Structure 1
Amino acid sequence: MTYTLNAVMTVGAVVAALLAPPHATAASTRTAVVTTDNETPVLYDDEAGGNASGDDPAIWVHPADSRKSIVIVTAKEGGLRVYDMGSREIQSLPATEAPRIDTAAGRYNNVDIAYGIRLAGRQVDVAVVSDRYNDQLRFFIIDPAGAAARTPLTEVTAADQRFLFNPDREAVDAEHTAYGLAVWQPRPGETYGVVTQEGTTTIATARIVEIGGKLGYTEIRQLAMPSRFGLPDGTTWVPCEEPGVLPQLEGPAVDQASGVLYAAQEDVGLWRLQLPLGPRSKPTLVDRVKDFGVHDVYDSETEECQPADPNAKGYGGNLLTADAEGVDIYYGPGATGYVLVSSQGDDRFAVYQRQGANRALGSFRVKGVGGADDINGSDGLAVTNRPVGDYRQGLLVTHDEPETGPDVDDERDATNFSYVSWGDIARAMSLTVDTRAGNDPRFR
């Protein structure tokens, strides 16, 4: 059964939010700098490279031997890649056809980890993946041996799962389909995928269940997020997009302790709302991109948006430069910790408090050393506070596009992922390090 819910946000409510003290402008404008020398092999988005375009990572933490932890990333039409803690590739999975009658080859956009799902009489950890070309979720069991396994991932997607956002294959082929993804596990035995829709403002949740010894989903709920915003000057701002497209959301993350969903609306900013989706899910705009409120005009020849008034100031914050993309949570003691957001437009990462009103703390960028390049245009990111491999104070993994360097063919579209020590980030920004269980239900 599908439940459709309407998110009603009046212009007056949005104006009130804008006039409230903006969290981001109170933050330090200094950008900290951290370094990394650890990055994954380059992926090329062309026929010779298997049309592999890196996008989103997830970190699976081994319960007993952190050296066997793995990083799983999406490569869109290129499928999935699995890396060990030294960023070496240990598995490559193609984006195969989905197990359905009206099947198409996959396009894997985002990935997250579900811990302790009951399947075929045992508990398993699962990589959950959004498949854009089939508008559905795909599921891959993680071998308990992790990086020591011959094949760390094995697909276990049940046949003929319903489309998440579309009524039929014809509508799916228009590509307003499953896009951003996060896993929500509110209690033992209950797991949901939280999915955004490409080209619209819709968010959906779907409960993950066992179906005939494999994994599928049911109980799809949908919520439409705002696409128009009242401004203090009395005008209404609609983020400029190409015709027929609304300001989409991509990077979501769920605070597993509170059930709060954080979602980045690429041309708008960072939202917070309470799960489950329903009448009580009142979205709060935590922070706004820098050009929030600047009225743009779409140029059909250049397929770009340009300001109607080049001197317009807008009402944005100072930490996010569109697109706002990947989001994840670093868990500290109790309700403390941090929400991280990739500010793709200026190659930086914004940091907010996890607790309270999510006060902005500043930003950092990542400089490559020892043969690694600087991180540019980051899309997805993942962070864990758990010790993994040599990263004893936690690990951030982030997408990098374009990947550059002397060994990279700059005539081809190149991407990869970089590993960054959380300890280095914490020192650079005076943040907390806490390596206890965090969001992993195996250690709650």
Structure 2
Amino acid sequence: MTRYRTPALLGAALVLALSGPALTSTAQAASPHADAVAPVVVTTDNETPVLHDDEEGGNASGDDPAIWVDPADSTNSLVIVTAKEGGLRVYDLASRELQSVAASAAPRADGVDGRYNNVDIAYGFRLGGRTVDVAVVSDRYNDQLRFFVIDPAGAAAGTPLLEVTAPEQAFLFNPDREAVDEEHTAYGVAVWQPMKGGTFVAVTQEGTTRLGTVRLVEQDGLIGYTDVVTTTMPGSFALPDGTTWAPCEEPGVGPQFEGLTVDQRTGTLFAAQEDVGLWSVPLPLMKHTPATSRLIDRTTDFGIHDAWNAETEECEPIDPQDRGFGGSLLTADVEGVDLYYGAGSTGYVIVSSQGDDTYAVYDRRGNHAPLGSFRIAGTGGVDDVNGSDGLAVTNRPVGEYRQGLLVSHDEPETGSGVDPERDATNFSYVQFGDVADALDLKVSTAARNDPRFR
């Protein structure tokens, strides 16, 4: 979600830590952008067909992708994306559309047509006596999850997705339909399949700082969920200069989270708080307190005090000289998050920095040290990637992507023949090996690296 705001002065260097929600005093000595390095550039020549968020285009607005890897024949792997009121789209590795799934009414007595926001993949779920892979989707207009079994033939299937959502699933964050219609509802999603078993989903709530988890269960041959647990993350922060800072938001909206991914080995949830930064949160949430979480990195304008201007409907700095206590890799909004699994505990957390059209990379291990950033340039008639929302990455070789695949949302789509008067979005495919070469990262494509393929 893009939230427009006036440019603010960039904050301090990213090496600073948080102690709970308060910055340590070391922040006061940091110089602005001490560790900032220009992003490297990688290229793409593969993008999906354009989606248009207007009546003619079926109100389809691309948002979040997921990659389903076919373990038997990688050329049949799929890219599944959300298109909000336009439902889901399913693409092959050449970015050809294979299926369009409408955002139909949720299977409940008071169900309405859906708005599909984020998607992730659950592998190896037991359903009806067989093992299936499932696309898990957040439905904002019904404050619930929706479930789609993936045909094991993948791209070779006539209809790769089939909905299997059990009826009358509980609202995730709201007490009743009236509250749901206020639209502070299910937003970001990430599947968690811990080594001890079970399939869980982490969910965020639009417009608030709440995170939740549920456990997936079979219900009469369909999929539902139970054991809803929620927690509230910080929305304001004590700064070293003695002030307390909260990101400026439009009235009635809190500093929300959206992008999520879970390290399946460690149970660490990486969560993007759009105007704040990237968090690590230990799972399960029932053992969580804000003090057990850590803000890994902060947006560039973290700590800069803004005020909402009702006339311009923008946040504006109260003091233009305020330098804040921000990092240098993430420019709000912080959006998509995913994990590239390397050998053992190695690998990389990749985050889309929507505000400056770049992607930050962090070490999967330890304190998740920043390793650099990149941007995506188009070649061969494909446009540059702008304003990325969701992203997905896999270490597995899929088709021609022999060192892994990264898929990114692109908004606005500005390619040849795109009508600039229409709200156009799509998704671009990138060779992960190109990212690795540019940032001196290690590529490790073994299936055993990704614990979801156990």
Mapped partners of 1:11, 1:48: distance in 2:
50
SS at match of 2:122: strand
**Residue 316 (structure 1) aligned with residue 346 (structure 2):** no
What TM-score results when the alignment is normalised by the length of structure 2?
0.93
CA drift of 1:438 comes to: 5.5
Tell me if the contact between 1:385 and 1:438 (Cα under 8 Å) persists in the aligned partners. no
Shift of 1:355: 0.2
Alignment of structure 1 residues 11-160 onto 2, 5 Å: 14-16=22-24, 19=27, 27=35, 29-160=37-168
Task: Kindly indicate whether the alpha-carbon contact (under 8 Å) linking 1:28 and 1:361 is maintained by their aligned counterparts in 2.
Answer: no
- Structure 1 residue 260, shift from structure 2 partner: 0.2
Alignment counterpart, residue 353 of structure 2, candidates 339, 343, 358 = 343
Give the deviation of 1:18 after TM superposition.
Answer: 6.8
- Corresponding residue SS for 1:95: coil
Alpha-carbon distance change, 164 to 13 in structure 1, aligned in 2, over 3 angstroms: closer
Gaps of 5+ in 2: 1-17
Mapped to 1, the partners of 2:20 and 2:223 lie a distance apart of 44
3-state SS of 2:447 partner: coil
Partner Cα separation in structure 1 for residue 60 and residue 45 of structure 2: 23
Q: Which residue of 2 aligns with 1:6?
A: none
401-410 or 319-328: which moved more?
401-410
CA deviation profile, 1:24-62 (whole Å, cap 9, x unmatched): 967551210000000000000000000000000000000
Q: Secondary structure at the match of 1:219?
A: strand
CA distance in 1: counterparts of 2:287 and 2:154, whole angstroms: 41
C-alpha displacement at 1:417, in angstroms? 0.0
1:303: how far off? 1.1
1:264-343 to structure 2, matched below 5 A, reads 264-281=272-289, 282-343=292-353
Aligned to 1:374: 384
C-alpha contact 1:119 1:210 (8 A) present in aligned 2: yes
Provide the residue aligned with 1:7 in structure 2. none
User: Deviations for 1:229-253, whole angstroms, at most 9, x for unmatched residues?
Assistant: 0000000001100111110000010
> Contact conserved, 1:27 with 1:362, CA < 8 A, in 2?
no
Mean Cα displacement is larger for which, 388-397 or 13-22? 13-22
Q: Is the aligned partner of 1:426 residue 2:419?
A: no
Checking the alignment, whether the CA contact within 8 Å between 1:250 and 1:264 is kept in structure 2 is: yes
Is 1:362 matched up with 2:378? Answer: no
Q: 1:125 to 1:440 in 2, by over 3 A?
A: farther
RMSD: 1.7
Query: 2:438 is paired with a residue of what secondary structure?
Result: helix
Q: Which amino acid in 2 is paired with 1:92?
A: S
Partner Cα distance (1:92, 1:172) in 2: 26
Match of residue 238, structure 2, among 230, 240, 253: 230
Retained in 1: the 8 A contact 2:123–2:453?
no
Partner of 1:5: none
Residue 283 of structure 1 and its aligned partner are, at CA, apart by 1.3
- Is 1:407 equivalent to 2:426 in the alignment? no
C-alpha separation between the residues in 1 aligned to 2:386 and 2:313?
23
1:187 deviates by: 2.9
Give CA deviations for 1:330-354 in whole Å, capped at 9, x if unaligned.
0111111100000000000000000
Is 2:264 the partner of 1:256? yes
Asked if 1:443 is matched to 2:453, the reply is yes
Compute the displacement of 1:440 (Å): 4.6
- Deviation string 1:382-423 (CA, Å, 9 cap, x unpaired) is 000000010000000000000012211111000000000001
Quick check: 1:249–1:266 contact (8 Å CA) kept in 2? yes
Is the contact between residue 68 and residue 147 of structure 1 (CA under 8 Å) also seen in structure 2?
yes
TM-score normalised by L of structure 1: 0.95
1:19 Cα offset (Å): 4.0
Counterpart of 1:170 in structure 2 is: 178
Contact 2:303 2:326 in 1 (8 A): yes
How many residues get paired?
434
CA gap 1:314/1:28 in 2 versus in 1, 3 angstroms: closer
